[in-house]
Amino acid sequence: MADVSTQVSASLEALTQEFDIITHNLANVSTAGYKRRCSSFSSMLDDQQDAAATALDFSQGNLVETGRTLDVALYGKGFFVIETPDGPLYTRHGVFRANQNGQIVDSEGRSLAGASGPLAIPTTTDISQVTVSQGGRISADGALIGQFRIVDFAGKEDQLETVGFCCFRAPQDVPPRDVEDVVVKQGYQEASNVEIVDELVGMIMVSRMYEANMRLLSIKKDTTNSVISVAMG
C-alpha cells in the first residue's frame, strides 16, 4: 500500500506542472510570434520515466494584418536574428521599430541583424515608404538598404532555449544556418499558435485526473482506517 501515496504524489506533481504549462500557453494567446509548449506528460506515463519535458510546437501561427510598416511575419520556416552583447537571439516576433538613428530594433532597443551588417533606414525617409519584399529585402524610397538575416536550425528547432520576451537562444551544438527561400510578409504579425480549444480540453483532462488521484488518496485513507478499526477491535 505504501507506494500508492508515492505514485499519487508523483503524478500530482506532474499534473500541476502540466497545468502551469497550459496556463502559460493561455496567457500568451495574444502574443505575436509565441510558440506553444506542449508537455510530454503522457509519454512519461507510458515510459515510467521520472522527469517530464516540455517541447516547443513550431507550427505556423495565423498571419494577422496590422498595416504597420515594421510588422513583419515569417510564413514557414525561419527566425529573425537579434544582436545582443551576450550573443545572438532568435525570434519569430516580428514587431520592430526604428530608433532615433533609423536602425531597426526590437522592443528592448536591440538591433536586428541584416544579411550584411546592421539595418538602418535613412533618417530622411518617411517610415511609410519602407517596403519589405517577400524574400526579406528592405527598400527605403525604392532604394535597397539591406536584407533581414533569417536563419533556421536544420530541424533542431526544438532544442532551442527559450529566454522569454519571445526570444530563443541556440545551444552550442545547434548552429544556425542562413536560409534564402523564406516568405516575409510586411504589415502582418504572426499570431500565437495557441488554440484555445485544445488548451481547454487539456485543462479539463488535467483537473479530472487530479481529482481521480485525490480519490485514490481518499480511498487509501478509508481502507487504512478500516484496517486499523478491525485490528483495534
Partner 1 sequence: MLKAFSTASTGMMAQQMLVDVIANNLANVNTTGFKQSQIEFQDLLYARQKEAGTEVAPGINAPTGLEIGSGVRVASTLKIFSLGEFRNTGRNMDIAIRGDGFLQVVMPNGDIRYSRDGSLQVNANGQVVSMTGYTIEPALTIPTEAAAVDIGPDGGINVTDQAGVRSVVGQIQLARFPNPSGLQSQGDNLYAPTDASGDAVVGIPGQDGFGAIQSGFLEKSNVHMVNELVNLITAQRAYEINSRAIKAGDEMLRNTNNVF
Q: Which is nearer to partner 1, 43 or 178 (CB)?
A: 43
Q: Are 184 and 135 in contact, with CB atoms under 8 Å apart?
A: yes
- Number of residues engaging partner 1 in binding (CB under 8 A): 68
Q: What is the DSSP letter of 26?
A: H
Task: Pick the binder of partner 1 from 48, 124, 226, 229 (CB under 8 A).
Answer: 124
Report how many helices (DSSP H) and strands (DSSP E) the chain contains, helices first.
3, 19
Helix (H) or strand (E) holding 75: strand 72-75
Task: Pick the binder of partner 1 from 61, 102, 114, 146 (CB under 8 A).
Answer: 102
What string marks each residue from 161 to 200 as x (binds partner 1 by CB under 8 A) or -? xxxxxx----x-x----------------------x--xx
Q: Which is nearer to partner 1, 13 or 178 (CB)?
A: 13
- Residue 181 beta carbon to partner 1: minimum distance, rounded to whole angstroms: 27
45 binds partner 1 (CB under 8 A): no
The Cα 99–Cα 106 span in angstroms is 9
17 binds partner 1 (CB under 8 A): yes
207 binds partner 1 (CB under 8 A): yes
Sequence-distant (≥ 6) Cβ neighbours of residue 211 within 8 angstroms? none
Q: Are 156 and 174 in contact, with CB atoms under 8 Å apart?
A: yes
Q: Are 179 and 77 in contact, with CB atoms under 8 Å apart?
A: yes
23 binds partner 1 (CB under 8 A): yes
The Cα 61–Cα 54 span in angstroms is 19
Residue carrying C-alpha cell 488518496: 217
58 binds partner 1 (CB under 8 A): no
Helices 196-232 and 2-27: angle between axes, nearest 10 degrees: 160
Over its C-alpha atoms, the chain yields an Rg (Å, rounded) of 24
- Residue 193 beta carbon to partner 1: minimum distance, rounded to whole angstroms: 12
205 binds partner 1 (CB under 8 A): no
Binding site for partner 1 (CB under 8 A): 16-17, 19-24, 26-32, 34, 37, 40, 51-56, 66-68, 93, 95, 97-102, 107, 121, 123-129, 141, 158-159, 161-166, 171, 173, 196, 199-200, 203-204, 206-207, 210-211, 214, 217-218, 221
